[in-house]
Structure 1
Amino acid sequence: MWFKNLKIYRLCAPWTLFGEALETALSRHAYQTGNNLEMQSLGWVAPREGGPLAHVGNKQILLALRAEKKLLPATVVNQTARSRAQEIEEQQGYKPGRKQMKEIKERVTDELLPRAFSIYRDTHIWIDTANHWLVIDAAASAKADEAIGLLVKTLDPLPLENLFVATSPASAMTGWLAADEVPGNFTIDRDAELRASGESRATIRYVKHALEADEVRRHIQSGKQCTRLALTWADRVSFVLTESLDVKRVAPLDVIKENADAALQNDDEKFESDFMLMTGELAKLMAELVDLLGGEKRG
């Protein structure tokens, strides 16, 4: 149940919505099945099947947003609309104009939507009310924005702000590569991307490749900055840090997996244990990462 990507935000005020009040707020925007008349619909679902809309434990909250999108290819709409336009032309004696053609396409879309296939995507959101983090498991900014948009509609006011650090990740990562080490509990792994800032945007990528210090320094001296860097925290979690402060490809390492309670057979117990383990480890990782980048920068 580990998050694979971390879009990290700050709670700028104490979190006060728990229990029945939180569940009621989420239920107003719960995902509704069977809506055949919208291209896309969003709503909250239970993170754990059969459970509440908000999974809460030890001041940690887990939410799940479901997005349903209808697959209705434009070629199908256009072909059907052209056929419909020909029928109308025969009836009225002249081709439909631009406005009428737009109306035909809209009617065709409405008619075809109930027969369109649906695809579903769930996005998980973790709210750490103890340490004041809000984290979205999303690789793309558009998915994070989608989740925040529904959060804003659901929870008013939402005490959320962007996370800013004193040292830019690109500058810090470039310095770590130049020094061939990272301070604290972090170590450099075998993936990196260095990019020139000029018009050429020349880019060097290392993928599962040893980062030779002298070679990397030559790229840095030529004007390139590190925009992505694979790191390991405390020999416990590996991840990739980006220039925009996104944390990607998060993976717990063997030391965590070995310490997980293998005796837990009940699915509910395992879900709860995994959630507590993940939130505990990632909260520490994020705090140390922010400190490594010079601490938070307040606006």
Structure 2
Amino acid sequence: MWFKNIKAYQITQPISLDDDDLQNALSENAFRPCGKQETATMGFASPFSQSGKESVMFHKVQERYWITVKKQERILPAVVVNAELAEKVAHIEAETGSPVGKKAQQDLKQEIMHQLLPQAFTKNSYTHGFISIPDNLVVVDASADGKAEAYLALVRKAIQSLPVVPLARRSLQSELTHWLTEGTPEAISLLEEAELKSVDDMESVIRCKNQPLDSDEITLHLDSGKLVQKVGFEYRDVLTAIIAEDGSFKRLKFTDRMKEENEDIPKDQVEARMDAEFALMSAELCQFLDYIRKELKLVE
């Protein structure tokens, strides 16, 4: 279990979680499959569902609670609906000799979707995240705000309260630009990837990859007033990622050294490997995020 993207949030008020209460709360909001006329459903699932341990609704390591949300969607391609609609409209117009109006077509479309929905395939997706009580952090493995916010909303509904704010409540453009112009914090080293954006009305964007960020070309763009929107970096010998000006992290990769720490656990012991990976990953992520919020002065 290695997160690939991070949306991180700071807990603003002390919270406590009781294991039995949390198990009951998540079970009451457990995932259920889509009904015949439902386009999507979402609920909690066991983090260990792949190993067959469906009844345990969360996993805890040193007050870090791993909670998983499962979503099921019915896949009804627009091209299928539109083809069926076009056929029905053509049939009606041939019979009546009159065109079918927009309102009537919308009604027909809803009728078609109602008929086809029970036959539609379903797609399952999972959103993983964890609450770290000692670090006052909630970390969600999501690249989009909407997905992360849906996760937070469901957790908040289940446990009644989850007072959080984004890790960064302001743009980090200035700080990330400082990394290129003045140097990075001690534990951070830059990779050869960045996105720069001008602050004028043109809002021109420069994206570079496999480009030394201390090169004359990049310096020229910085001197012209462009600010850093995203930049690739490595944190110690732990992970690499792209940090964006909104404080999110994408394309997160843990180093081989990190992943090799659990190589002594047999691959057929799925639950044991997932437990060990979560323990290692969540601990390192909390240390990393604490370092970032202190260096960038994001502490509440």
Q: What is the DSSP-based 3-state SS (H/G/I as helix, E as strand, rest coil) of the residue aligned with 2:32?
A: coil
Pair 220,113 (structure 1): closer, same or farther in 2 beyond 3 Å:
same
- Whether the aligned pair in 2 keeps the contact of 1:6 and 1:248 (CA below 8 Å) is yes
* Partner of residue 42, structure 1: 42
TM-score between the two structures when normalised by the length of structure 2: 0.89
> What is the rounded CA distance, in whole Å, between the counterparts of 1:173 and 1:34 in structure 2?
44
> What is the rounded CA distance, in whole Å, between the counterparts of 2:81 and 2:264 in structure 1?
54
**Equivalence map 1:93-104=2 (5 Å):** 97-104=101-108
* Partner of residue 2, structure 1: 2
- Whether the aligned pair in 2 keeps the contact of 1:168 and 1:293 (CA below 8 Å) is no
- Whether the aligned pair in 1 keeps the contact of 2:194 and 2:208 (CA below 8 Å) is yes
Alignment partner for residue 133 of structure 2, among 129, 151, 175?
Answer: 129
> What is the rounded CA distance, in whole Å, between the counterparts of 2:188 and 2:34 in structure 1?
48
- 1:261 partnered with 2:262: yes
* Partner of residue 21, structure 1: 21
Q: What is the DSSP-based 3-state SS (H/G/I as helix, E as strand, rest coil) of the residue aligned with 1:148?
A: helix
- Give the unaligned 5+ runs of structure 1: none
Q: Residues 120-143 of structure 1, C-alpha deviation per residue, up to 9 Å, x if partnerless?
A: 211111111111100111111121
* Percentage of identical aligned residues: 28
Alignment partner for residue 158 of structure 1, among 156, 159, 162?
Answer: 162
* Partner of residue 294, structure 1: 297
- Whether the aligned pair in 1 keeps the contact of 2:33 and 2:72 (CA below 8 Å) is no
Deviation for aligned residue 1:97: 4.9
* Partner of residue 210, structure 2: 208
* Partner of residue 237, structure 1: 239
* Partner of residue 55, structure 1: 59
Deviation for aligned residue 1:98: 4.4
> What is the rounded CA distance, in whole Å, between the counterparts of 1:95 and 1:250 in structure 2?
54
Deviation for aligned residue 1:204: 1.9
Q: What is the DSSP-based 3-state SS (H/G/I as helix, E as strand, rest coil) of the residue aligned with 2:24?
A: helix
Deviation for aligned residue 1:223: 1.0
Deviation for aligned residue 1:153: 2.6
> What is the rounded CA distance, in whole Å, between the counterparts of 1:108 and 1:17 in structure 2?
46
TM-score between the two structures when normalised by the length of structure 1: 0.89
> What is the rounded CA distance, in whole Å, between the counterparts of 1:168 and 1:83 in structure 2?
51
Pair 268,247 (structure 1): closer, same or farther in 2 beyond 3 Å:
same
- Whether the aligned pair in 2 keeps the contact of 1:178 and 1:213 (CA below 8 Å) is no
Q: Letter of the aligned partner of 1:263 in structure 2?
A: D
- 1:114 partnered with 2:114: no
What is the aligned length? Answer: 294
Q: Residues 34-62 of structure 1, C-alpha deviation per residue, up to 9 Å, x if partnerless?
A: 52311122111111123312112210111
